[in-house]
């Protein structure tokens, strides 16, 4: 997968060991089974030939197959393709291991990791997944941070479709809003201290479908909404 699925929105960070926050991925109910997310590293990475595995901690509300892919291969190395691991502990953190010894180039350089949560199904409602502490080879995966799951609230927006000004009427605890296109690219970041409502000028956006996401001061995802720009 070379880019975000058209119906998949993400907010993620690559966290240090025992991090204070986690990566968040939100899968839409109108997507495809292969909808996923990726992160590009600031430098190329390689897997040690004596331990060609990658581990990460995953939290989901149901058991499912989680696929990881090593991509962005350099100098003739092979991308891994789909490599599955089974998440079996709903509503609990579980450390998963993906073995790349059979489908990657030993010593190869890679620039991207892709995750596809619950690859075999499209959810009936938007699903939020969490991940943390990605570890390559025998490196330490760390301890899971203190963490609670936050319920996502739909962002109330109007009008929709919109031509010029989009009104957000329930900013709540949000301190930052982001507008993404359907490739997952961030087009606009709006900082706000308004406790009630916010007007966003979208005149310069091209006609199409966009996703608005809201985050609190700690960077936690608070809600999202899809809107159409005329």
Look at residue 106 and tell me whether its pLDDT is greater than 80. yes
pLDDT digits (tens, 9 = 90+) for 52-67: 999 999 999 999 999 9
> Is the pLDDT higher at 197 or at 172?
197
Look at residue 70 and tell me whether its pLDDT is greater than 60. yes
| Residue burial 203-229, b: 16+ Cβ < 10 Å; e: rest | eebeeeebbbbbbeeeebbbbbbbbeb
The pTM of the full predicted model, rounded to 2 decimals, is: 0.55
Distance CA 199, CA 166 (A): 6
> Is the pLDDT higher at 25 or at 230?
230
Beta-carbon contacts of 118 under 8 Å, excluding residues fewer than 6 positions away, are 27, 60, 62, 64, 65, 66, 127
The answer to whether 64 and 118 are in contact (CB under 8 A) is yes
Phi, psi of 167 (to 5 degrees): -95, 125
Look at residue 212 and tell me whether its pLDDT is greater than 80. yes
Determine how β-strand 221-229 pairs with β-strand 153-154.
parallel
In order of their start, the domains of the chain are: 8-136 (2.60.120), 153-229 (2.60.40.1220)
């Amino acid at each position: 997968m070379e880019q975000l699925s058209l119906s998949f929105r993400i907010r993620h960070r690559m966290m240090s060991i025992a991090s204070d926050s986690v990566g968040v991925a939100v899968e839409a109910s109108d997507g495809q089974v292969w909808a996923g997310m990726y992160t590009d590293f600031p430098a190329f990475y390689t897997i040690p030939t004596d331990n060609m595995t990658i581990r990460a901690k995953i939290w989901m509300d149901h058991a499912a197959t989680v696929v990881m892919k090593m991509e962005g291969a350099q100098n003739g190395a092979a991308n891994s393709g789909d490599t599955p691991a089974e998440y079996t502990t709903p509503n609990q953190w579980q450390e998963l291991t993906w073995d790349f010894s059979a489908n990657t180039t030993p010593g190869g350089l890679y620039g991207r990791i892709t995750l596809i949560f619950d690859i075999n199904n499209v959810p009936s409602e938007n699903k939020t997944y969490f991940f943390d502490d990605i570890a390559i080879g025998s490196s330490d995966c760390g301890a899971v941070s203190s963490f609670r799951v936050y319920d996502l609230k739909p962002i109330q927006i109007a009008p929709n479709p919109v031509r010029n000004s989009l009104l957000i009427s329930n900013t709540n605890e949000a301190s930052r809003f982001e507008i993404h296109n359907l490739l997952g690219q961030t087009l606009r970041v709006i900082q706000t201290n308004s406790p009630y409502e916010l007007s966003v000028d979208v005149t310069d956006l091209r006609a199409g479908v966009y996703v608005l996401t809201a985050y609190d001061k700690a960077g936690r995802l608070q809600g999202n909404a899809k809107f159409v720009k005329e």
